Homo-oligomer: A and B are copies of this chain.
Amino acid sequence: MNSYSRVRVGVVGATGYSGVELLRLLSRHPAAELVAAMGAPGAEPRHVPSLRRVWDAPVNGLDLDTLISSTDAVFLALPDHAAAEIAPPLVDGGKRVFDLSGAFRLRDAAVRRRWYPKTPEGPRAVVYGLTEHNRDRLRASTLVACAGCYPTAAILSLRPLLAAGLLDAAARIVIDAKSGVSGAGKTPTERTHFSECHGSLSAYGVFEHRHAVEIEQELGTEVTFVPHLLPIDRGILETIYAVLAPGVGEAEIAAALHAAYDDSPFVRLTGRDLPEIKHVAHTNFCDIGWRVSAERKQIVLVACIDNLVKGAAGQAIQNFNVAFGFDEGLGLN
C-alpha cells in the first residue's frame, strides 16, 4: 500500500482513552507497524470493542522484554509514576520513547520534585514534544515528553506573541481553560460520574494545577491558569486574556501568528472567527482565533484542540513522524 519502511511500534497503557486513540491511529498509520499493545502488568488479554475489524489483536499485560525485543519505538499512555518507571529501561534498550504523561516534562529538578514527587529523576536528554516548536530537536530525540493537553493550546497561542514582544510583560496573563471529561481519564470517580457532570460545570485545581507550571516553563512568564470540567466527552477550549504592549494592534498580532504557523499543517488560524470545539473534535488541529481591542489595549485569544488527539495521541504521532523523518501529517489526516 505504500513504500515506507515501517517502524515497529508498541503502545503501553492501551486501554485508556489516549491509548485507544493511539491504537486507532497507529493501526492504520502507513509507516508504523503496530506490534504490541499492553496494559497493566499481569492484566488479562482484552479486546477493545470499538476497534473490532479496525485492530483485532488483544491488549496484553505489560511485558518489558517483549517490548524491547519486538519494537523500534514505544508510546507510553500511562500515569506519571508508571511512565517514569518504564521509560528509562526502554531508552536503555535502544527504543525511541514517546511519553504522553507529565513525568519528564519539567526541566528544573526542584520544580519537578515539587509537582511530580512520585517520579524519579529523568534521563538526561528529554525533548519537550510540542511539535510545532521543537521540530529540530525532535529529529534527534530519544525520549520525547509530549506536551500536556492544556499547555499545547496555551503555548501555541502565546509563545509567538511573547517572542515578538507584543504583550505587556508586566500584566498577568489569564488562561481560562475548559476541558471535556475524557481528559480526566478512564477511572471512574465521583467527580467524573455522569450525573455529577451532566448539566453542570465546575472549576478545579486553582493555583494547584501542574499544567500551569508547564505553561510557565515554556513561556518563561507567570500565568494565572484555571481549568474547568465541561460536560462533554472530548475537546478543550481556552480563553486567553492579555494586555497589549504599547502600539500593538490587530495587524501585529496576525502577522506574528501567521509567521509562526503558516507552514504548520495542524495549526489553523481563524482570525476574528473564533474557533469552536466542534470544529476540532476528532482531529489533530489546533484552531486559534483572536479579538483585539485597541481602545482597551486588550487581546482575547481562543484556542481549541481535541484533548485526546492534538492534546495526546495525535501529537505523540506527529512527534513520532518528525522524529523518524516522515511527513508530519502521516496517519493523522
Task: Identify the A interface with B (CB < 8 A).
Answer: 1-2, 17, 28, 49-50, 52-54, 171-172, 174, 176, 178, 180-182, 186, 188-190, 192-204, 206-207, 222, 224, 226, 228, 230-235, 237, 239, 241, 243, 265-266, 268, 270, 273-282, 285, 291, 293, 296, 298, 300, 302, 333
Contacts and interface: CB of A to CB of B under 8 A. Distances in A.
A53 B274 contact: no
Given A181-B195, A200-B276, A201-B237, 8 more contacts: A53-B268, A53-B285, A172-B243, A198-B198, A199-B199, A200-B232, A207-B296, A230-B231
Contacts of A178: 178, 201, 228
When all copies of this chain in the complex are counted, the total is: 4
B231 A232 contact: yes
Contacts of A235: 199-201
B50 A279 contact: yes
A216 to B, nearest CB: 11
- Interface class of chain A by DSSP: loop
Contacts of A222: 296
A89 to B, nearest CB: 31
Contacts of A190: 186, 188
Contacts of A2: 1
A289 B206 CA distance: 12
Given A49-B270, A222-B296, A230 B201 contact: yes
Contacts of A186: 190, 193, 195
A276 B50 CA distance: 9
A308 B182 CA distance: 23
